[in-house]
Every structure is written in C-alpha cells, then in structure tokens.
Structure 1
Amino acid sequence: MTWRIKSLVLYQRGGADRRKLSFNLHGVNVITGNSQTGKSAVLDILNYILMSKSCPIPKGIIRQAVSHVGGHLVGPDGELLIIRPLPAPGAKVSTQGWYQLGKDLVFPNELPEMISNRAQIRDILSSFTGIAGAAVLSNSREPWEEVLAEANIRHAAPLIFQPQDVIANRHVSVPGLDRDEHRRHMLDALPFLLGIEDAEILEARVHLRKLKSNLAALRMKRKERGRLRANTFARGHKLWLETQGIGLLGGESPQSVPELLGILRDVQVDENKRFDVATAIPNIRQLEANELQSRNAVQEARKHVRSLRDFERNAGVHQDVISRQLNKLSISELLPTQTNKGGCPICESEAFHPERQRDQLMKTLSSLTGIRAVPLRVDAKARKARVRLEEELVPLEEQHEAARSRLREAITTISKNAEYFTADREIDRLLGRISEYIRTVDIGEMDDDEENLASLEDEINVLERKINSIAMRRKKTQESINRTMTGLARWMEVEFKKGNASISVEDLSIKVQIDPDSDEMTSLAEIGSGANWVCYHLAGILAIHDHLSRNACPVPRTLLIDQPSQAWFPEELRTTNREGELVPEDEEDTNRVRDIYRLLDEMTTKEGFSQIIVMDHAKFGDDWFEKMVRYEWRHGQKLVPEHWISEPAKTP
C-alpha cells in the first residue's frame, strides 16, 4: 500500500493559531455541512499540498486568513510532513515549501523556514508514493509531442480526486482530462500507475518511440531519395535521348543514374570537322564592310559625274539664251543716227531720240558679249573634270564588282554549311546542359541507408514483441475493472443496470451498454440524467481503487469525493423528524443517496481499500453514517474559524 492522509493543517495568517483536520486512515471520513463552510476547499488544499502548478484554493476568506497549509501523510514504512505557503498577494502560486520524512511526526508549532522548492518536494512525494524513476511518454495518439520527463505524483493526483465539477460531468471522468497537456501526460503514465506496465516496459516504450521516430525519418528520407532518383534519371534520360538523336551516342538505353552519368561523361564531338568548317568560312562581316565601302565610293563618283554633266547642259542652255539675245540686239545697227524732228517714224511720238536709244542697245549688246565669254571658259574646265572622273570611276566599279563577287561566294559557302552550323550550335547547348547536369547530380544524396533501416526495423520488432507481451495483462486488468464497475453501478440502481459499464484503462473514458443484447458501448456523454453521471463516475473510480487495493500500484490509497449527493440533494433542505438529519425531500432520492454512502462504507471494509474522504451537504441519522462523520460544519462551524476572520491579520 502507499500513503494515506492522517491530517491536514491550516496556519493562521498573522497569528499563532492552527486548525488541524484529522482523518481515520481506513474507512469513510465524512465532512458534512452547509454551503460556503469550506468543505470543497479540503480537496483543493490536499491538491495544493501535492505540489500543484497553480493554487486551486479559492480566493477569499481562506487565502486572507490562512498563510500556510500542510499535510501529514502516512505510508507503510514512514511518514511525510509537507507545509506550503499560500501565494502572496498578487502572486498565482508559491514555489517554496518545507518537508520532513520520518516516523511519529508532528507538525511544528511555529512555522519552519521554507527552504525547499516545488520540484524538490514533488520528487520527495513521488518517491514516497513509489512512482519515482518511471519514464513518461507522450500519448501515442499525439506522437508529435515527445516528453522525456519521469512520472511523478502529479500524474497520479487525478485518480484520487473527484471534485464537484467532475463527479457529475458527462465528458470527463477525472480532473485534467479536458486539458490537452494534462491529458497526454496523465494517460502516458496510466498503464504504469495501474500496474499494467512496470518501469522496464516504460523505458522500452520510450526507446521504441525514439526508434519509430528515427525509422519514420529514414523512410521519409528514402522516399525523398526515391523521388530524387526518379527526377534525376528522367532529366538525364532526356539528355541521353537528345544526344542519341543527333548521332553523338548509340547503344542500349541506360537503366540507372550512375549508368547515365558514365555515358554522358563520355560524349564526344568531332572537333576536327568543327575546325575545318570554321577555317573554311571567310569573315562575312569584313566582306560585307568591303562591299559597302566600294559601293559608296562608286556612288559618290557617279554623283560628281552627274553634277558636272548637269553643269555642262546648263551652260549650253545659257549660251543659247545669250546668242538669241545678241541676235535680237543686232538690229540696233539699223536704227538712224540722227534725230528726226518730226517725231518717231513708227509711233510718231515727239519724245523719240534715235541716237540715244541706239547707244543704250549697243551698251547692252557689249555686256552680253562679255557674259557669253565667261561660261565658255568654265564649261571647258568642267568638261575636263568630268572626263577625268569618268576615267577614275571605271576601276572603282571594278573593285565594287569584285567585292560583290567575294560576298556572294561567301554567302553561298555559308548556305552550304548552314545545316551543320545549326546542328553545331544545338550540340554546344546540349553539351552545356549535360555539363550542368553532371555538376549538380550527387550520387551520395540518392543512396538509401538500407543497412541502418534494416537494423532499426529489427530492433523495433524486438521491442514491440516485448511490449506486446503485456497486452494480455492489459486485457485482464480491463476485464477485472469492468466487472467491478458493472456490479457497483447496478448496486446504485443506474438507469441501464442490465447492461455492462466500463472505464477504459487507456484513456479513462466511461462507456455504458444501453442494450444488453447488443455489444455496442455508448459514451457517457450520450446518456442523460445527472444521477446516471454521478453513479457511473463513482462506480468507475471505485472500481479503479479496488484494482489498486488488490495490486501493488503506485497510487495513494486515498480518495476525496466532493458532493456525491448533488444530483438528488437540492439546495433547499428540510429537517426530518430525526433530529439533525438533512436529506432530500423525495424519499426515493433519499434512499439513492443513502445507498451511495452504504456502498462507500462497504468498499472500505475490503482489505487494503483506499481511505475515502467525502465532503457533502447530506447527513443521515443512521448510526453507521454517524460513525463516518468526522466534521459537521453548521451553526457557525467552518473550515476557517470565525475568530480568524474577525481578527485583523498581523504582519509576521
């Protein structure tokens, strides 16, 4: 067996008083009383003492009046005292504490120095419970989250608490299952806590998880390498086909990347033919330039010749015009030399002076004669220049024709080799692509690590056979818990008492067989009635603790239940004829609640069964119930004494 709760203690804030709650180590301990007396806080106090990450103790009177809380735990081989301060104002939790291991221990009258931290006390608690050193894995349903921590008291804590908001919850069977992180850690440790797996199996499971992760990585890498090989081979084979198509390669098609690389590295080109062709082709650009230069020279010379011819033609026209003018002016010799006073002989004008008119015409004739002599001299020079240019034009035209002939011959030669040049350029591009392909291919990246893969698979098979050997133990444990749970549920007169009930040893889910003639199991979430939820919760957790009591399981032998009568017990209570008895108004409901307490009492009579602490409103006048009542908080009695609240807190 592991530890049970001997007592809880509260230290007055700013005072020297203590409040101690003592419990029987065996049997049922009932704390009954009115609402808002601190009953539910008893469960929260123990949870906090067990080194919860946050402080579940509600804010208000308790945190204002209490400075520290402590627990006295008794195990088969020793005792453990723990004291933990409540969070300071503004803080969420205290990470300090104090503990003492030994026998016949008592709480100190004065608060000791809080010299230990939360992690240290948690490890001491885990060792005291018998769960130290067991590896915890991530939940197999969430394999991407690997946790390498060890199991500790916090993994076992959900199995000893049935708070008020859980015992009637249709969705979760123990606290924390509705939070992903808590759920994963809790369910990882569950096979170990239920005695299905030992530390050796858990260690093997840790190693198996790592090996499977490595195997998955290797298989993924092999798959990626397969895709890489396929893509690389496809690229290389395309190059091989192109090389074969232009006649650089022949033979059978390669079947692998290494074979392709070997073939492509040996691709050869006839460089001699490439050189002969290249040297046989003239410089087409130079020939084009020479042809253009000679053509420009010919055109320029012809332009000058045309200009001179135009000048000669214009000079002849000029001479003709001058000659006609001279012929016309020659009539001036026919004019009289003396004036006829009778007037003009033609028009009989009195202003006519023939001698004057004759002098003017003679002057004009003399001028035209002078003008005619100048063009004649210029025309002779132009004619000589034209003749000289025409003589020079002949060799220029011959040079241009020679340049044109050479250019035509070059173009003809290039045309004859155009097909080769096109293929040659394609070969150059293909050789460049082959070179880049060879440079980028790494054979090492495509090699499969088959040896390591086979070794991993062999090691995984060995570990799986070792782990699978506990499958029968898990099956027997599940069947045993299911039988116990079904019997307890029927005792409490559940709605579907003819069917079986189950709480899974893998995920703690509760399921019910609604139709006894069908194998279908229905989730508790799909069943109505708060009474059903409470009864199946109690049946499930009691069945688990019954299994713990019959096996050396590392879970505390204590179970705290808060408000099991809530489905039948209304807030409005009535006092019956039996003095002090507080029960539901409906007699059938009263009997259902009474049956629950009888069942709890009956379960604790089994050898080694867990200590049960119940916080509830209900109180029965039966002697067997009165014997279970440890505290009754009514008529001013509460968890925190009234004078702690009325006295102002003193600063220590």
Structure 2
Amino acid sequence: MTFQISAISIYNRDGRIRAVPLRPGRMNIITGDSRLGKSALLNIVDYCLASDDYVIKGAVLRTYVHVFAITLVKGDQQLFVARPAPSGSAATTTTMCVVSQAHGAPPPALDDLAFATPLDITKALLSDFAGIDHTLRIPAVRSAKPIPPSIRHALSFCLQKQNEVANEDLLFHGQSEDFQRTALRAMLPYFLGAVDPERALREHQLRMLRRQLTEMENALAAARVAGPASGQARALLTEAFEAGLLPRPPAGRELTAQEVAAGLRRAVSTASVGLGAREFAEDPLTVLTESRRTLRQAHARIRARISNLKQAARENDEFLGEAAEHRGRLATLGLLLDPGSDDLPHAQHCPVCGSTAPDVGGIATVIREDLVRLDAELTTVGSSTPDINALIAEEQTKLADLRAALAGNQDEIDTLTAGRRAASAQEDPLRQAAMVQGRISLYLETFARHEQGPQVVDRREDIGAQITTLEEQLGAAVQDDRLSSFISLVNGKIKDKSIALALDHVDDPIRVDPRALTIVADTTDGPIRLSEMGGGENAMGYHVATMLSLHEWFSEQSRPVPRFLVLDQPSQVYYPEDAQDGTPVTDRAALLNLYETIQQTIDALQGDFQVIVMEHADLDDEPFRSAVQARWRRSNGEALVPREWITQGVPEESGR
C-alpha cells in the first residue's frame, strides 16, 4: 500500500497558511487563468518529495512564501512533509520537517515546524512510506555502483509537467536528464515487478566478482613487473659491471633471478668503487639488440604456426561437418546392411523399395564401401582435432613467454640506454660509479616495498568459478522474459485507452520501449516512435494513456509507486495558437473524452488512484464539473498566493 495527497500548503513569514485541499481516490481539477499559481502545485509536490533542487518558479512564490508543504495519506496514516524556501544565497535547503499526524489533522502552525531531518533521511522515510525497498540495489548501465530505488525514481510515473504532458520526445517526467534516463531504464523493471530481489543481489555480486577479477589480473601484472629479475634489474646489473662495482660475470651463462637480486645488493653496498670500468667482450647493448631481433623472429614464426594450426582446425571442423552429413545421406536412415553382412539374398534387394534386381548388389556394395571409407576418415580426422587444439594451446603459451621476454628485453635496453646517457655527463669514474649505485639503491627500495607489502595470491581460478556459477544461476533471459511479459500486459491497457481517445495508429500494435523510453507503433512500414507520429493531440493522448495504464498495473500488482498522477495543462493541445485566457478549446468533445477516460480509470481502481489536473479549460460537463476543486481567476481574485500576502508589486511570472 502506498500514499496519495490530501493537501498542498504554503506558509508566509507571518505564519499564515494557505492550504489547497485535495480528495484522495478522486479526480481533482484546479482551473483558472494563467500565472496564478496552478503550475506551481506540481513543483511544490516535487520539491516536498525531496527534490535535490529548488524547483519553485515565479517571483510571487519566491518572494512571499516561506515554507512549502504537502499532506500525504495512506489508509489511516497521515504524514505531513514541509520544506522551507532557501535563505540568502543558498541554492536549496537540505533539511526538512517530517511529522506523523492523526488522520485528517490540519497543517501544523509555522512555529511548530522543526526542520531537522536531513534530505537523504527524508528520501528514505518517504520511500518507506511509499513501500519502496530502498535497501535493494539495482545494477544500472554506466553506473559504477548499483543504485537503490527511491521515491525520486517513482515520481517519473507520477508527474507530467506542462512541457512534458504533450512532448513528442519525452514520455516520463525528468527523462531529459541523462542520469535520470539511465536510472529510469534500470528502475522500470523494479517498479513493474519484474525484478526478483534475490536476482538483484546476485547481479550485484556478479559485478563485484568481475571487478575483483580485473583487479586481481592488474595486481598480478604489477607484481610481475616489480619482480627482481625484470629487464630493469638486469640492465642495472650490467651498469654495475661496466662501472667496476662488480667483477665481470662468466660468459655465456644466464643469471637467475636470485643471482641478479644478490648482485645488485652487493653493488650498492661495495665501498671500492671506480676501480676501473670492466670491459665486456661484446657491447651489452649490441647483445640486447641482437637478442631482440632473434626474439621478434621467433615471435613471428610462432604466430604463423598458430595461424596455420587454427586454419587446420577450421578445415577439420568443416570436413567433419560435411562428411557427417554425407554419411547420413548414404546410410539412408539404417536401410542398408552393415558392410560386413553376408546376407547375400537380401543383398539382391533394393535397400529403398525392396524390389529384386540382379545389379542392386553392386550398387549397394559401392555405397557400403563409401560408408566404410567415410567412417575411417571421420575417425582419423576427428581424433586429430584434439591434438591440433593441444598444439595451439602449447604454441600460445610459447607466444605469451616470448611477449614477456620482448617486454623485458625492451626494459633492459631502455634502462641501460638511460644509464649510459646519464653516465656520459660525468667524466670522473668515481662519480659515474656513485651515480650507478644511486640508481640501483632507488630500484632496491622500490622492490623492498613490494617485497614487504602483502603478497598477491592468485585467486583467478576461484573467482572465475564463482562468476560461472552466478551466470548460470541468473540466466539473463528469466528477468527479460518477465519484463517482456509485464510490458506486454501494460501495452494491452495502453491500446484500449488509445482506442478510447481516438488516437492515430490504434489499428497497429502499440508498445512501450523500455530502452528508448517511448511509445512505438509497429506498422507494416516499420516501427513508428512517438516523435514520428505527429500532432500534439497524439503526443498528449499517448502520454495520458501510458500513465493511466501504468498506474492501473501498479495498483493491480500492489507495486510501490505513489497512487497519484499530476497533469499540468493537458488541454493545451486543444487551444488555438493565439488563445488568450477564456478562449474556448477547439475540440471540446475530444477534451471531454480525455476526462471521461481518466475518470474511467479512477472508477476502475475504486479509490486506489488519484489524479490532480491544473487546467485553463473549465467545462460544464461531467465528469469535469464535479472534479473542480478551485477556480483561480483574476475576476474573483483567487490564486495560490492570497492577494493580501502581496505587499508590493511583483511582476507576474509563469508558475504563480
């Protein structure tokens, strides 16, 4: 069960209260002239339901109203929510007043209001009051973290501003904002009831595991780079040999990682530096460059071998498929005898029709020989495929090792080149040796921090197994099927209402597109979106039909969406372009039909749905006439802000 609105109130600084009463479970129309505050009612509802911004417009409201408030009712429960206007240069207010009242209680006095509830706590309280499980986390596209549903998301289905209700490009409230559009796509399945809370939790776990796997791979890569036998370490050891810090290594032997680390530690701690540079039989940089050329050639050969093996595997697969199909045709569903059969009388009969013929045996023999040959080839080729795949895996391992060797070789070349460049600036051998010791010392400090830090444990296999298990449990098609099913049922309701409103494309299937967040008519010429249907009456009609249909679904399925819909100026599409206040609508019958359709939905939901409409039009026909709650006109002096509150001239603006 969720809530409706029983009153919208404003306070001036003197504490005087102006309340606009509303009837839950009914249609409520506030009609009147422009710029008298009708549109502000929607903004007050939005602001008091924990908007992040100060959405109130109009100079009169901003000048003379100190506090905005709404009274919410749910069964016998009543919640009064008030929010002050920003003071000074503040952009908005971040504390509100939330008070539980006895059912039917009037708005409290200004002095009794305590604005002590932070905005985020107010959102949580209002979400609870609406029945929204704000502890749930819903994964959203382009969002680093899953987001909890809240009252703010639910309002996308409850508000239709004047520039939204007939908008061809937007269907839902707030859809023009990128972040709101992303959130709405994620939240639509939840509010429709297609999201299983357990599934949402598993999806969150899956996202976290995938992130852990990425972080694990990055950490392992970093650990490999920081290893003591890296190209940088080997290059520094070569510099130590050249600077005379260490004796020349034995020729032709590759030093182990432990030997490299030990040599660097000896080089940095030796005191007998600069005793003469050690000459190598061959320049180390030349050796490294030649080694790189050899590695690249080996890398190219292995890549070519892998490509050839993959081509062979593809050809094997293609042959196996064609041969199996050919064998199946020859076998003719088992009508032929086994090749080894000696049932000669039977061999004189046609294997298909059973007739006797003297030359049938020869034909059957040829077919059987083909079958034997194909069986042998299928066995031979089929048995070779695993061997080819094993060779591919082996060669790919070699390729990965070569890539690592190339990376290390490049590191060694870069480090040695940089060291020699730095050493060339120092002619004194002592200073050159000291500079090499400083570079080695810096490297060892970095490596020591890596050694002393927590060691990376390779858990990729375990994380991968958990990811596989969750992916199998989730089966993305399950939620997609539920969502498609529920939207299909809502589409049926939209279709019925579009027929009642005599909209275009009622002869075609009509559907909500949950990704594009629009209405689509499926025609023989292709899909036609709301923006392509043309005409303000179509846009407004499909907006209203969609919102009414969604609220029918929310009510029938007891979904946690507030049971009210606020429509601002739906009759705007029926007024002449140069219409002034009081100008009759161009199509009264169509406008009346709109209100009859709204009333039919309200009646069908038996008090569980409320519609609040702000209008220029004022019809004498039912159900419009009985739904009017207030008439704000200049002729009778009525407006949202009482005339006596205004103590000085303020320009009239939209929203007043």
**Aligned-partner Cα distance in 1 for 2:224–2:604:** 63
1:11: Cα distance to partner?
Answer: 0.9
Match of 1:536 in 2: 542
Structure 2 CA distance for partners of 1:103 and 1:507, relative to 1, 3 Å: farther
Match of 1:512 in 2: 520
Q: Deviations over 1:70-110 (max 9, x none)?
A: 11101135211111111224332122221112432331134
CA RMSD, 1 decimal: 4.2
Matching residue's letter, 2:588 = T
Q: Deviations over 1:399-455 (max 9, x none)?
A: xxxxxxxxxxxxxxxxxxxxxxx995479975999999699799xx99975523532
**Aligned-partner Cα distance in 2 for 1:73–1:619:** 27
**Aligned-partner Cα distance in 1 for 2:127–2:58:** 28
State whether residues 15 and 111 of structure 2, in contact with CA within 8 Å, keep that contact through their aligned partners in structure 1: no
Match of 1:460 in 2: 470
Structure 2 CA distance for partners of 1:544 and 1:430, relative to 1, 3 Å: same
Q: Deviations over 1:5-46 (max 9, x none)?
A: 011111123x24211111110121111111111111000000
State whether residues 499 and 514 of structure 1, in contact with CA within 8 Å, keep that contact through their aligned partners in structure 2: yes
State whether residues 592 and 621 of structure 2, in contact with CA within 8 Å, keep that contact through their aligned partners in structure 1: no
1:599: Cα distance to partner?
Answer: 0.7
Q: Deviations over 1:456-498 (max 9, x none)?
A: 4323324423x64333321211101111112212221112221
Once the two structures are superposed, the pairs formed by residues 37-76 of structure 1 within 5 Å of their partners are 37-76=36-75
Structure 2 CA distance for partners of 1:624 and 1:175, relative to 1, 3 Å: closer
1:55: Cα distance to partner?
Answer: 1.1
1:220: Cα distance to partner?
Answer: 7.6
Q: Does 1:152 align with 2:150?
A: yes
Matching residue's letter, 1:188 = A
1:546: Cα distance to partner?
Answer: 1.3
Matching residue's letter, 2:155 = A
Query: For 2:534, what is the secondary structure of its paired residue?
Result: coil
Matching residue's letter, 1:165 = N
Matching residue's letter, 2:480 = A
Q: Deviations over 1:296-340 (max 9, x none)?
A: xxxxxxxxxxxxxxxxxxxxxxxxxxxxxxxxxxxxxxxxxxxxx
Structure 2 CA distance for partners of 1:76 and 1:228, relative to 1, 3 Å: same
**Aligned-partner Cα distance in 2 for 1:262–1:531:** 81
**Aligned-partner Cα distance in 1 for 2:564–2:180:** 21
Structure 2 CA distance for partners of 1:567 and 1:221, relative to 1, 3 Å: farther
**Aligned-partner Cα distance in 2 for 1:129–1:423:** 81
Match of 1:111 in 2: 111
**Aligned-partner Cα distance in 2 for 1:620–1:167:** 20
Once the two structures are superposed, the pairs formed by residues 481-560 of structure 1 within 5 Å of their partners are 481-504=490-513, 506-507=514-515, 509-513=517-521, 515=523, 517=524, 520-560=526-566
635-644 vs 176-185, greater mean Cα deviation = 176-185
Matching residue's letter, 2:92 = V
Match of 1:562 in 2: 568
Matching residue's letter, 1:131 = I
Once the two structures are superposed, the pairs formed by residues 227-266 of structure 1 within 5 Å of their partners are none
**Aligned-partner Cα distance in 2 for 1:439–1:154:** 54
Q: Deviations over 1:137-187 (max 9, x none)?
A: 4522x2xx3135522211111211000111122221112222122222333
**Aligned-partner Cα distance in 2 for 1:59–1:102:** 31
Structure 2 CA distance for partners of 1:427 and 1:597, relative to 1, 3 Å: closer
Structure 2 CA distance for partners of 1:207 and 1:447, relative to 1, 3 Å: closer
Matching residue's letter, 1:607 = L
Q: Which has the larger radius of gyration?
A: 1
Structure 2: gaps spanning 5 or more residues: 235-250, 260-278, 292-404, 413-446, 651-656
Query: For 2:8, what is the secondary structure of its paired residue?
Result: strand
State whether residues 213 and 460 of structure 2, in contact with CA within 8 Å, keep that contact through their aligned partners in structure 1: no
Q: Does 1:176 align with 2:178?
A: no
Match of 1:470 in 2: 479
Structure having greater relative contact order (Cα 8 Å, sep ≥ 6): 2
Query: For 2:604, what is the secondary structure of its paired residue?
Result: coil
Matching residue's letter, 1:91 = A
Matching residue's letter, 1:509 = L
**Aligned-partner Cα distance in 1 for 2:76–2:472:** 38
**Aligned-partner Cα distance in 2 for 1:120–1:20:** 26
Matching residue's letter, 1:643 = E
Match of 2:488 in 1: 479
Match of 2:392 in 1: none
Q: Does 1:638 align with 2:647?
A: no
Matching residue's letter, 1:12 = N
Give the alignment's TM-score, normalised by structure 1.
0.62
**Aligned-partner Cα distance in 1 for 2:159–2:218:** 44
State whether residues 140 and 146 of structure 2, in contact with CA within 8 Å, keep that contact through their aligned partners in structure 1: no
Q: Does 1:139 align with 2:145?
A: no
Question: How many residue pairs end up in the alignment?
Answer: 458
Structure 2 CA distance for partners of 1:216 and 1:513, relative to 1, 3 Å: farther
Identity %: 24
**Aligned-partner Cα distance in 2 for 1:18–1:571:** 37
1:199 to 192, 197, 200: 197
Match of 2:125 in 1: 124
State whether residues 83 and 97 of structure 2, in contact with CA within 8 Å, keep that contact through their aligned partners in structure 1: yes
1:523: Cα distance to partner?
Answer: 2.1
Match of 1:323 in 2: none
State whether residues 50 and 122 of structure 1, in contact with CA within 8 Å, keep that contact through their aligned partners in structure 2: yes
1:582: Cα distance to partner?
Answer: 6.2
**Aligned-partner Cα distance in 2 for 1:158–1:613:** 15
**Aligned-partner Cα distance in 2 for 1:22–1:431:** 87
**Aligned-partner Cα distance in 1 for 2:501–2:224:** 62
Once the two structures are superposed, the pairs formed by residues 80-479 of structure 1 within 5 Å of their partners are 80-104=79-103, 105-112=105-112, 113-137=114-138, 139-140=140-141, 142=142, 145-216=143-214, 424-425=281-282, 430=287, 450-465=460-475, 468-479=477-488
1:248: Cα distance to partner?
Answer: 6.5
Q: Deviations over 1:369-411 (max 9, x none)?
A: xxxxxxxxxxxxxxxxxxxxxxxxxxxxxxxxxxxxxxxxxxx
**Aligned-partner Cα distance in 1 for 2:121–2:282:** 79
Q: Deviations over 1:179-223 (max 9, x none)?
A: 122222333222222221143332222222222333455678899
Query: For 1:19, what is the secondary structure of its paired residue?
Result: strand
111-120 vs 34-43, greater mean Cα deviation = 111-120
Matching residue's letter, 2:598 = L
1:501: Cα distance to partner?
Answer: 2.0
**Aligned-partner Cα distance in 2 for 1:24–1:53:** 28
Query: For 2:570, what is the secondary structure of its paired residue?
Result: coil
State whether residues 575 and 583 of structure 2, in contact with CA within 8 Å, keep that contact through their aligned partners in structure 1: no
**Aligned-partner Cα distance in 2 for 1:521–1:218:** 45
Matching residue's letter, 1:461 = E
Query: For 1:98, what is the secondary structure of its paired residue?
Result: strand
